Amino acid sequence: MSSRAAPLPEEGRLRSLVDFYATQMRTSVVAQLQYRAANYFYMLGMVAEPVIYLVVWSTIARQHGGAVNGITAGQFAAYYIVWTLVRNMNIVFGAPFWEWRIREGRLAGDLLRPLNILHYDLAYFAGWKFVVVALWLPIAVGLSAVFHPDLHPSALQVVVFVVAIWGAYFVRSMFQATIGMLNFWTTRGAAVFDLYMATEMLLSGRLVPLQLMPGWVQTFADFLPFKWTFGFPIESLVSNLSTRSLLLGLGAQVMWTVIGYVLFTFAWRAAIKRFSAVGA
Amino acid sequence: MSESVVHVSELTKVFKVPEREPGLRAAAKALIRRQTREVHAVEAISFDIEPGEVVGFLGPNGAGKTTTLKMLAGLLYPTSGEARVLGHVPSRREKDYLRRMTMVMGNRNQLQWDIPALDSFELNRAIYRLRRDDYLAMRDELVELLDVGDLVRKPVRNLSLGERMKVEIVGSLLHRPMVLFLDEPTIGLDVTMQKRIRTFVAEYNERHGATVLLTSHYMADVEALCKRVIVIHHGQILFDGALSHLANEFAAYKTIGVLLEDGNVELDGYGEVISRDGDRAILRIPKAETSRVAARLLSEHQVLDLTIEEPPIEDVIEMVFAQSR
């Protein structure tokens, strides 16, 4: 029989973290596969938003002689079809879900584990992305057949895009987690979340390509994190950004990830002292 | 002398709870100035637990048991006082500490709902950084001890409450914790399942020398597992000692069970008759008078059998709380 009053020995730290990410991502895939139909209906629901934008902008483009601010109907199609993938990639453990996590007592269980809670969420949603991409592919093919996107990326653009959609995922994870900390101070954080989401909607390129916004709005957006979670990844694939702009964009994502992580860490340390574990 | 595994000194937790009168006027007033009330959930409690001890933590709802357990598990930040478990300050939530303890909450599900428990166990292996061979050996040992069998292959949501509790416990102990905080581990379970879990806790404690602090409203749990109990009420410790001493200290009466040859004998003059079934009777007698009443019964009637017992532990606990009001 095992030795008395001693925990089991542990593996090395780095190897363990890689092992945790692989295991948690696998667990997430297994969990998502339990609900294949639900996931698909969810994806179809999500497609409604960009398709509306796409139809509206394509119509306007046609009415303006084929382009709006230099963006053709085919480029709008490319923008919003890529949008569907970027949107699914930047879905993270959202700020409002922290309220659920606290209220349902899930946080207490998470806190008992010897692991930074961010790793837990990052790995789980990262695993989910593999299911999402698999489900997205036939939708993208269908949308392309209907809307004929004008999309001719270079190899570099494809590489940057693949990195940038993960960058968007990390930036958004950090900021949503930081905003989620509000739940430790108020049980009605929804108003702040709504304000955050509205700002993101306008300044990220989600509602409208930033290229169609006034110049000062575009400049303003450059200095905020939102653009790097939506507009930049899309444009890295569909626009003709220079190599310098592509690399600067990736750099901005790294910078905002670090800023978001630092903000989260400070907020988390203060928040956890206020945790009352009620209902846990 | 061995060093305490759990050391608690003057530990206090005060919650600030928002409070206001009903109605529109009070609601408007609360917009400007929010009223709060302080709730002293735990007030300056102190105790030590030695390695390998199994201690019952008893008290009515809202007494402060779970709050104390949560402070010891690092879930709650104490308002003041000191807590140390395995030499760690729980509120710092150091990874080395979290790897050596576990907390099982009877009314909470910590496994993933939609997937088989085996997948959640695998995730716990990765979280606790366990070597695969050690993990498999421990998992199989726990599965066997709790007689879990193939339940681990079903999605957790398809398990009954009792089955879920068993797999929860397996998941919580895979890393072989040295300290177990068990908060109502048998709540809502049927008698057979309660017994199974009790036997398991005793076996785990015996095999691994783990220290256990247990809360339960089922006295059968406490009687089966705990030599020592800590009774808490209104956030304060009322008793800390051997379970066997609890009745001595707090019970004001004993019960005399008597079997008489003549079932028509009048017994009201001896004490309070709790039950009467023909020639059998149970009397409640003030503790100081027990010997005298027993002697009278034996001398004045044809007694076929007579037993003197402490009151049931549930009654003793009730007396402890009654005396503290």
Q: How many CB pairs under 8 A join A and B?
A: 119
Residue B231, strand partner residues: B58, B239
Alpha carbons A255 and A245: distance in angstroms, whole number: 15
> Are B175 and A8 a contacting pair at CB < 8 A?
yes
Give contacts of B 110-139 with A, CB under 8 A.
110, 112, 114-115, 119-120, 122-123, 125-131, 134-135, 137-138
Whole-number pLDDT of residue A3: 44
Cα–Cα nearest to A259, from A184, A192, A172: A172
Cα–Cα nearest to A89, from A173, A199, A31, A150: A173
**Number of other CB atoms surrounding residue B293 within 10 Å:** 19
> Are A11 and B129 a contacting pair at CB < 8 A?
yes
* Residue A165 buriedness (CB in 10 A; 0-12 / 13-18 / 19+): buried
> Are A5 and B120 a contacting pair at CB < 8 A?
no
> Are A34 and B208 a contacting pair at CB < 8 A?
no
> Are A108 and B108 a contacting pair at CB < 8 A?
yes
Residue A33, strand partner residues: none
Nearest by CB: A6 against B77, B102, B178 = B178
> Are B115 and A5 a contacting pair at CB < 8 A?
no
Whole-number pLDDT of residue A105: 81
Question: Domains in chain B, ordered, with CATH?
Answer: 6-243 (3.40.50.300), 252-309 (3.30.70)
**Number of other CB atoms surrounding residue A249 within 10 Å:** 21
Are B44 and B23 within 8 A, CB to CB?
A: no
Q: How far is CA B219 from CA A85, A152, B76, B129, B249, in A?
A: 57, 73, 27, 37, 18
Cα–Cα nearest to A20, from B24, B265, B95: B95
Query: Residues near B165 by Cβ (< 8 Å), separated by ≥ 6?
Result: B106, B185, B186, B189, B193, B197
Per cent of chain A over pLDDT 90 is 54
Q: What ipTM was estimated for this complex?
A: 0.83
Q: Coil, strand or helix: which one is A200?
A: helix
Whole-number pLDDT of residue B2: 57
Residues of chain A neighbouring B127 (CB-CB closer than 8 A): 20, 113-115
Expressed in angstroms, the distance from the first to the final Cα of chain A is: 34
β-sheet with B228-233: strand ranges across: B101-105, B179-183, B211-215, B54-58, B228-233, B236-242
Residues of chain B neighbouring A273 (CB-CB closer than 8 A): 77
Whole-number pLDDT of residue A4: 59
Alpha carbons B319 and B141: distance in angstroms, whole number: 41
Q: CA angle, corner A111, sides to A109 and A116, nearest 5?
A: 130
Question: Touching check for B98 and chain A: CB below 8 Å?
Answer: yes
Provide the residue count of chain A: 280
pLDDT tens for residues A44-89?
Answer: 787 888 889 889 988 888 888 888 888 898 999 999 999 999 999 9
Q: Coil, strand or helix: which one is A93?
A: coil
Question: Touching check for B218 and chain A: CB below 8 Å?
Answer: no
10-residue block means of pLDDT along chain A (280 residues)?
58 82 92 80 82 89 86 92 92 87 86 92 93 88 92 95 97 95 81 88 92 92 95 94 95 98 95 75
Nearest by CB: A20 against B15, B126, B134 = B126
Are B125 and A23 within 8 A, CB to CB?
A: yes
Instruction: Report which secondary-structure segment, H or E, holds B166.
Output: helix B161-173
Tokens found for residue B264: 């028509």
Q: What would the DSSP string read from start to end of A242-273?
A: -HHHHHHHHHHHHHHHHHHHHHHHHHHHHHHH
| Chain B residue at shortest CA distance from A35 | B114
Residue B309, strand partner residues: B255
Whole-number pLDDT of residue A279: 52
Q: How far is A107 from chain B (nearest CA, A)?
A: 9
Q: How far is B282 from chain A (nearest CA, A)?
A: 43
Measured over all CA atoms, what is the biggest interatomic distance in chain A, rounded to whole angstroms? 81
10-residue block means of pLDDT along chain B (325 residues)?
86 86 74 80 95 92 92 94 96 93 83 88 92 92 87 89 88 93 87 87 92 89 91 92 83 87 86 88 89 92 89 78 70
> Are B125 and A31 a contacting pair at CB < 8 A?
no
Indicate the angle between helix axes A243-274 and A231-238, nearest 10 degrees: 160
Are B194 and B218 within 8 A, CB to CB?
A: yes
